[in-house]
Structure 1
Amino acid sequence: MFYLPETRFDFGGDEYIYAEISREMSIEINFKVQAITREIIRRRLPGVIEVCPANTGYLVQYEPEKVSPYKLLEIIREIDARYSDFSALTLPSRMIEIPIWYNDPITYEYAAKFRDRHQNPGGSNFEFVMKINGFTEPEPFIEAHTATPFLVTMMGFLPGTVWEYPLETRKDHVLQAPKYLSPRTDTPMRAVGIGGAFTVIYPTAGSGSYQLIGMSAIPVYAAEPQTVAMLGGRFLGKPGDIWKHRSITENEYHKILREVEEGSYRPTIREIEFKPADFLAHGSDYLQILLKEGGFA
Structure 2
Amino acid sequence: MLIFPETKFDFCGDEYIYAEISKEMRIESNFKAISITNELRKRNIPGMIEVYPSNASYLIRYDPNAISPHHLLDYLQEIDQQKSDRSELYFSSRIIEIPVWYNDKITKRTIEKYQHLQPEAEGDDFSYVMKANGFTDKEDFIASHSAPPYFITSLGFKPGTAWGFPLGVPQRQILQAPKYPSPRSYTPSEAVGIGGAFTVVYPSESTGSYQLIGMSAVPVYDPGQSLPLFQDSFFLAKPGDLWKYRPVTEAEYYNIREEVAKRIYEYRVKSIEFSAEQYDEEGMRYISQLMEGF
Task: Give SS of 1:189's match.
Answer: coil
| 1:136-166 CA distance string (max 9 Å, x none) | 0111111111111111000011000011111
Task: Give SS of 2:35's match.
Answer: helix
* Offset of residue 278 of structure 1: 1.4
Q: Is residue 99–residue 246 contact of structure 1 (8 Å, CA) maintained in 2? A: yes
Q: What corresponds to 1:285 in structure 2?
A: 285
The 5 A counterparts of 1:234-253 are: 234-253=234-253
Q: Is residue 225–residue 234 contact of structure 2 (8 Å, CA) maintained in 1? A: no
Return 5+ residue gaps in structure 1 as ranges.
none
Q: Which whole-Å CA distance do the structure 1 matches of 2:130 and 2:267 have between them? A: 28
Task: Give SS of 1:270's match.
Answer: strand
Q: What corresponds to 2:14 in structure 1?
A: 14
Q: Which whole-Å CA distance do the structure 2 matches of 1:209 and 1:110 have between them? A: 12
* Offset of residue 103 of structure 1: 0.3
Task: Give SS of 1:142's match.
Answer: helix
Q: Is residue 191–residue 215 contact of structure 1 (8 Å, CA) maintained in 2? A: yes
Residues 15 and 218 of structure 1: CA distance in aligned 2, closer, same or farther (over 3 Å): same
* Offset of residue 111 of structure 1: 1.3
The 5 A counterparts of 1:188-203 are: 188-203=188-203
The 5 A counterparts of 1:1-297 are: 2-227=2-227, 229-232=228-231, 233-292=233-292, 295-296=293-294
* Offset of residue 2 of structure 1: 2.4
Letter in 1 for 2:257: L
Q: Which whole-Å CA distance do the structure 2 matches of 1:63 and 1:91 have between them? A: 27
Q: Which runs of 4+ in 1 moved over 4 A?
A: none
| 1:211-263 CA distance string (max 9 Å, x none) | 00000000111133524x35333111111101111000111100110111111
Q: Which whole-Å CA distance do the structure 2 matches of 1:169 and 1:248 have between them? A: 22
Q: Which whole-Å CA distance do the structure 2 matches of 1:171 and 1:129 have between them? A: 17
Q: Which whole-Å CA distance do the structure 2 matches of 1:243 and 1:16 have between them? A: 31
Q: Is residue 203–residue 219 contact of structure 2 (8 Å, CA) maintained in 1? A: yes
* Offset of residue 119 of structure 1: 4.9
Q: Is residue 163–residue 198 contact of structure 2 (8 Å, CA) maintained in 1? A: yes
Task: Give SS of 1:99's match.
Answer: strand
Q: Is residue 231–residue 266 contact of structure 1 (8 Å, CA) maintained in 2? A: no
Percent sequence identity is 51
Q: Which whole-Å CA distance do the structure 1 matches of 2:269 and 2:73 have between them? A: 36
| 1:143-195 CA distance string (max 9 Å, x none) | 11111111100001100001111113510111100000110000000000000
Task: Give SS of 1:39's match.
Answer: helix
* Offset of residue 91 of structure 1: 1.7
Q: Is residue 100–residue 215 contact of structure 2 (8 Å, CA) maintained in 1? A: yes
Q: Is residue 130–residue 138 contact of structure 1 (8 Å, CA) maintained in 2? A: yes
Q: Is residue 18–residue 57 contact of structure 1 (8 Å, CA) maintained in 2? A: yes
Task: Give SS of 2:206's match.
Answer: coil
| TM-score, normalised by the number of residues in structure 1 | 0.96
Q: Which whole-Å CA distance do the structure 2 matches of 1:189 and 1:44 have between them? A: 35
Return 5+ residue gaps in structure 2 as ranges.
none
* Offset of residue 88 of structure 1: 4.8
